[in-house]
Amino acid sequence: MKRTLIPQFVHLHTHSEYSLLDGLSRVSDLVTRAKELEMPALALTDHGALYGAIDFYVAASQAGIKPIIGVETYIARNSRHDRDPRVEGHGKPFHLVLLAKDFTGYQNLVKLVTAAHLEGYYYRPRMDKELLRAHSKGLIALSACLQGELARALLEEGIDAAVKVAHEHEEIFGTGNYFLELMDHGIPEQERQREGIREVARRTKIPLVVTNDLHYVNAEDAEAQDVMVCIQQGKTIDTPDRLKMIDHPEIYLKSAEQMHTLFPEDREALENTLRIASMVDLKLPLGEVKMPHFEVPGGLTPEQQLAQMAEAGAKTRYGSITPELRARIDKELDVIAKAGYAGYILIVQDFIRYAQEHDILTAVRGSAGGSLVNYAIGLTDIDPLRYGLIFDRFLNLERYTPPDIDVDFMDNRRDEVIAYVTQKYGADRVAQIATFNTMLARAAVRDVARVLGMPYGEADRVAKVIPFGVDLVEARRMVPELRDMEQEPHVQRLLDLAEKVEGLVRSTGTHAAGVVITRQPLTDLVPLERSKKSEALQSQFEDKSLDKLGVLKFDFLGLGNLTILHEALRLIKETRGIAIRREDIPLDDKKTFDLLGSGETTGMFQLESAGMRRYVRDLKPDRVEDVMAMVALFRPGPMDYIPTFIRRKHGEEPVTYAHPSLEPVLKGTYGVMVYQEDVMAVTQALAGFTMAQADVLCYTIRKKIKEKLDAQKVKFVEGCLRNGLHADVVEQVWKDFEPFARYGFNRAHAAIYGIIAYHTAYLKANYSVEYMTAVLSAEMGTPDRVAIAVAECRRMGINVLPPDVNESDFGFAITSKGIRFGLGAVKNVGQGAVEGIVEARKNGGAFRSLDDFCGRIDLQRCNKRVLESLIKCGATDGFGTRQHQLARLDAVMATAQDEQEARRQGQVALFDLGGTALGSIGSLVAANVPAGEVPRKELLSWEKELLGIYLSEHPLQELTARMGDVVDAYLGELKETEEGALVTIACVVTSARKHITKEKKLMMFAQVEDLTGSVEATIFPRTYELTAPVWNTDEILLVLGRVEKRDEAPKILVEHAVRFDDQGMRDIKRVASETAERLARRSRFVRPGAMGAAPWGPAPAAGAPRRPTALTSTNGHGNGAGVSSARPSSEEQPSAVSPPGASPASPGASSADVAPSTPRKPTELVIRFREALDYERSIEIFKRIQHVLADYAGQATVVLELPRASGAPRRVATSFRTTVSADVAEAVEREVGKDVVEVVIPE
């Protein structure tokens, strides 16, 4: 019987998504498909870079496929240093495929790719033959596609030229390491090329190899890849003469059979793919931590140096070393030595020392603060003994992880520290880290729509219904509006294509904090490129790939609040002559705690969000530990326990414990777990874990490692039962662990950030003007934040003055009259222009007139646009009316330019004649200038445009002092406020438009603004009926509402509104309190955040973010259409006519519960399940029901009846409310099927 040989093939020319906006293939999909096709090996050859090399190497190795790392590089026609666009311009460089045979080849590939980016970048990263000759060892080269030098020579110059190129390449890489590629994508030009390449092979004896230049995994992805190319080029699919790969849809991962069928006469070229794969034997040194070298004095080891520093530092910190101190220091040093981290800690301590010596404030965040050794050597500044911080959370031999110490620096001086590190360890050993920017769902929809030629409005309509942070697969399943839109074929096509490109890498960026430092030159292992934002070097690998390579990452973070603290301390010393060191700030200052208790925490670190302000006001902290606890609790999961913590602190609720043994470990936090260490302490108390074992459990929960988590739970349960705990108590405690272990802060991190928060509060309470000046200067460039800070100054009674060229500096400045606006905060005015103005003022005194001003400043730095901006914003009001100055500006500038030119030429200037001549010219110009000033409305418009705020006046300005009693949010803060949060704002109605719903009821859309910004407010019929008289243009209101962030701009869904007067303040407080209590009652039905919570969750407590539950379709960012989405009922939905920017189905909050009503027995709507369902099926059904009921919000309680194997069905009351009607029942039964549920309507 004849045996049939199964053909084999290896793809050696492969592009992934890391061929940016060119390749469509995800690395995981490539490897999965190659494994399905039983291919023994696979290469990755992305364009010009090695971005995906490590991910690919690991994925292929784990799949049992030999990974071949390569690149399709660009070769300069002459030299990589040549920048002649006629020779080296776009599309001119040749292509060449390089594959690494072994580790030497990999290192050469890294060096070549790095040089191409750092030395040869011109349109594309180019290398040249000089580089290839220097770094050819260990490499295999393939002749590439139609853009290869061989192909171009063959098609443009003939066979002899091609033979010459082939010989040159073979000479560079060595006999047997250069192959001529054969491709067949159905392109006519390729057919001529193939015959020529075969002839070159016959003449030169250089072997052939078959490739497919694949750019996507499956044949059906061709259209999506074509769309990606259009996105890259900024073109539409209908653009004529564009690059169109879809005309030849063959560049996918074909099977061996397909490749053999395509090249039936080229058996040897097919077999050469296997031959090349067999030549590759690349082993990357993964998992080996490569500690940078740190020079220690006197021939000491890093461990000995660290021990000496710890000894000396402990004596400095504590005066003497007690036996307890000695024991802890010795234990820590022993663990550090065994982990091999001494060198790492010394490196971090060294650059922190440098920062401190150069007056750069620092803070070490995270668990490193738990180390006494770190505190002793000056690496951290929080005493771990005082605050009960534990070392095991930082370092534990039973939980090995790479060392990780995150350091915050003043954000405006972080680069100085990185420069120091670069100088100390060498520019070839230090680099920042790349990040990859991917296409998110909304962006993918908009980009694809543009490529398809859809109108922007229609693309925007589709994109806006996609919740933030939710992928398209989930959005198409969970958002009814999207499902409705998909009924239109062109929208379905749009979403299908967008789904294929969503999540793909679009471009590279720079990690916000990460810096790598290596012992050997980086290019021994890591390819480099230049950051797009600067000339700084950065790795081509992201942090996860660097971790796999064992390259250590150091985090240099920029923290704006450290800059604010430093600037405030500088201003205090400058204006008051008082020198304050951060470490000397008293931690028991009454004014500070009074300020915190008032909730007026705007501008303070970690404490200024609307929700945090409310909680801090309720907490009324009286010790710094309270601030630390609040910083830790205000996190998803733990924040559900904030009300309990507050009530227990004030004695309003008894302190209870799940078990008596927990009292010693949780007494200090009123029986509430606050920190991750509390989970560890509870584990020790109940299950008898060691500290190290408890840390392992906490880490496992935090990282959600299921198989390890299951094993840890078994171990925990066994320990608890062995210690006599009841099974119900054990299960409850385990459920309580999850939100704290996963989302909570460790105690050290909370302590460090809590201290910074307290310091900002101290300075704001005691040195208000200096602190707020520092805040304003730090927020320059962010108009919304400047507006918030200005509003806070006004509330505090601090005058913020408009910019003035005779008083302002670049930043905000303190004057006798108040805080003077900084010129650098004026739109269109750059630092160079401001420096020129300040320099001229210092040299010649105050400016006397516009003529004098223009005559003395450098008009090359201060052009007409700068001067117009300064005039319009009021910075030159001392020179006359703005209209008059603008009218004269051209003439004054022309005269000043002539005078400055005359000075440069040594001529007598008009200014040198006492200004008389210029004054005469000015008088002639002034004669034709209109008198008076532009209308006040236009002046305010200019202020808003150029300063970002209304500075000179605002209708709310007189009321700012009274806002603190009732207002808990500024409109400018709503972008950072939690979705669904209940807020009270003060605002002016700038416009209002009535609207008729499809039920013929009145509702309203209003635009409201405060001192910080403007938002749209939606007032549904029932709320409008109660509040209609107040919705007048220019009316000043207090509004209670929910924050909706479905679109890019937040909105307010109004619950109640009153006029801003004494009675209104009382009313809004009452309604806000009632609403908060009502929501809190709902939240107690199922405690959110606990593992295993019932799938039908509660509405959030007031001020809390929307809590995801098993039923809520959400991505964890509060964007799901969950139970608490509070859509309007069907009778409140707007008709087809919607306000600009609003969807007809835009969700809103019903105000039904706000108005007082006569108590009545609540109605129930029962959804009866006909049979028991498994967990996954039940969750799916619950979600589908939820989507239906979301459109029928009302007062009736939704009750589920779930069948049980024996006895009566189980009734589960939910927090969801709906209307009771046949329409609801029909909609639910239609959605999930009458065979699954029965909806029972009460009589």
Which has more pLDDT, 111 or 7? 111
The CATH number covering residue 1175 comes to: 3.30.70
Residue at 883 is within a domain: yes
Amino acid at 161: A
Residue at 897 is within a domain: yes
Mark whether 534 and 387 lie in a shared domain. yes
Domain boundary (892, 919, 947) is at: 947
Mark whether 258 and 157 lie in a shared domain. yes
What is the Cα–Cα distance from 442 to 947, expressed in whole angstroms? 31
What is the Cα–Cα distance from 33 to 241, expressed in whole angstroms? 33
Among the ranges given (92-101, 283-292, 427-436, 928-937), the one the predictor scored with the smallest mean pLDDT: 928-937
* Strand arrangement, sheet containing 1237-1240: 1210-1218, 1196-1202, 1164-1169, 1237-1240
Residue at 815 is within a domain: yes
Per-residue pLDDT tens for 1049-1068? 789 999 999 999 999 999 99
What is the Cα–Cα distance from 763 to 546, expressed in whole angstroms? 41
Please determine, for residue 510, whether its predicted confidence score (pLDDT) is greater than 60: yes
Say what the pLDDT of residue 425 is: 95
Average pLDDT over residues 552-577: 96
Average pLDDT over residues 1039-1057: 87
Say what the pLDDT of residue 1120 is: 32
Report residue 953's pLDDT band, with 50, 70 and 90 as the boundaries.
confident
Please determine, for residue 147, whether its predicted confidence score (pLDDT) is greater than 80: yes
Please determine, for residue 904, whether its predicted confidence score (pLDDT) is greater than 60: yes
Per-residue pLDDT tens for 603-616? 999 998 878 988 99
Number of CB atoms found within 10 A of residue 441's CB: 24
Say what the pLDDT of residue 741 is: 63
Mark whether 415 and 551 lie in a shared domain. yes
Say what the pLDDT of residue 1204 is: 62
Which has more pLDDT, 260 or 1183? 260
Q: Which residues pair with 1169 in a beta bridge?
A: 1237
Burial class of 570 by CB neighbour count within 10 A (0 to 12, 13 to 18, 19+): middle
Strands 406-410 and 430-438: unpaired
Say what the pLDDT of residue 430 is: 96
Per-residue pLDDT tens for 825-881? 999 999 999 999 999 999 999 999 999 999 999 998 899 999 999 999 999 999 999
Mark whether 679 and 733 lie in a shared domain. yes
Sign of CA dihedral 529, 530, 536, 542: negative
What is the Cα–Cα distance from 245 to 1019, expressed in whole angstroms? 51
Mark whether 626 and 659 lie in a shared domain. yes
Q: What percent of the chain has pLDDT over 90?
A: 60
Distances (CA, A) of 528 to 135, 525, 623, 944: 16, 10, 49, 44
Let me know: does 792 contact 603? Beta carbons within 8 Å: yes
φ and ψ of 159, to 5 deg: -65, -35
Residue at 1033 is within a domain: yes
The CATH number covering residue 52 comes to: 3.20.20.140
* Residue-number span of the structural domain to which 1235 is assigned: 1164-1240
Residue at 362 is within a domain: yes
Say what the pLDDT of residue 921 is: 43
Secondary structure of residue 1040 in the 3-state scheme: strand
Report residue 915's pLDDT band, with 50, 70 and 90 as the boundaries.
very low
Report residue 1223's pLDDT band, with 50, 70 and 90 as the boundaries.
confident
Contacts by residues 898-904 (CB-CB < 8 Å, ≥ 24 positions apart): 899/855, 900/855, 900/859
Which has more pLDDT, 1138 or 315? 315
Residue at 42 is within a domain: yes
Say what the pLDDT of residue 1093 is: 32
Residue at 1106 is within a domain: yes
Say what the pLDDT of residue 1129 is: 39
Number of CB atoms found within 10 A of residue 845's CB: 11
Say what the pLDDT of residue 1213 is: 67
Residue at 222 is within a domain: no
Say what the pLDDT of residue 91 is: 77
Mark whether 714 and 841 lie in a shared domain. no
Among the ranges given (715-719, 1211-1215, 1233-1237), the one the predictor scored with the smallest mean pLDDT: 1211-1215
What's the chain's Rg over C-alpha atoms?
35
Say what the pLDDT of residue 1237 is: 83
Average pLDDT over residues 664-692: 91
Average pLDDT over residues 356-365: 96
Per-residue pLDDT tens for 961-997? 788 789 988 888 888 788 888 999 999 888 888 888 8
The CATH number covering residue 982 comes to: 2.40.50.140
Number of CB atoms found within 10 A of residue 62's CB: 10
Which has more pLDDT, 1130 or 816? 816
Say what the pLDDT of residue 277 is: 97
Say what the pLDDT of residue 368 is: 94
Say what the pLDDT of residue 1127 is: 36
Average pLDDT over residues 205-224: 95
User: How many helices and strands (H and E) does the chain possess?
Assistant: 46, 26
Report residue 1148's pLDDT band, with 50, 70 and 90 as the boundaries.
very low
Say what the pLDDT of residue 906 is: 64
Per-residue pLDDT tens for 760-789? 999 999 999 999 999 999 998 888 788 889
What is the Cα–Cα distance from 699 to 692, expressed in whole angstroms? 11
What is the Cα–Cα distance from 617 to 622, expressed in whole angstroms? 12
Per-residue pLDDT tens for 1163-1222? 788 888 877 665 456 666 776 787 777 777 777 788 888 776 555 676 776 656 788 887
Mark whether 263 and 354 lie in a shared domain. no
Say what the pLDDT of residue 1031 is: 93
Looking at residue 1221, what DSSP letter applies? S
Mark whether 67 and 178 lie in a shared domain. yes
Mark whether 38 and 126 lie in a shared domain. yes
Mark whether 124 and 156 lie in a shared domain. yes
Mark whether 826 and 881 lie in a shared domain. yes
What is the Cα–Cα distance from 122 to 126, expressed in whole angstroms? 7
Mark whether 884 and 910 lie in a shared domain. yes
Q: What percent of the chain has pLDDT over 70?
A: 88
Say what the pLDDT of residue 1152 is: 34
Count of domains observed in the chain: 6
Looking at every residue in the chain, the average pLDDT score rounds to 86
Average pLDDT over residues 1020-1032: 92
Please determine, for residue 1157, whether its predicted confidence score (pLDDT) is greater than 60: no
217 closest CA partner among 61, 34, 9 = 34
Report residue 1047's pLDDT band, with 50, 70 and 90 as the boundaries.
low
* 3-state SS string for 1069-1115: HHHHHHHHHHHHHHHCCCCCCCCCCCCCCCCCCCCCCCCCCCCCCCC
Please determine, for residue 1034, whether its predicted confidence score (pLDDT) is greater than 60: yes
What is the Cα–Cα distance from 445 to 485, expressed in whole angstroms? 13
Domain boundary (560, 595, 621) is at: 560
822 closest CA partner among 760, 878, 881, 778 = 778
Report residue 907's pLDDT band, with 50, 70 and 90 as the boundaries.
low
Say what the pLDDT of residue 746 is: 87
Report residue 732's pLDDT band, with 50, 70 and 90 as the boundaries.
confident
Average pLDDT over residues 895-900: 86
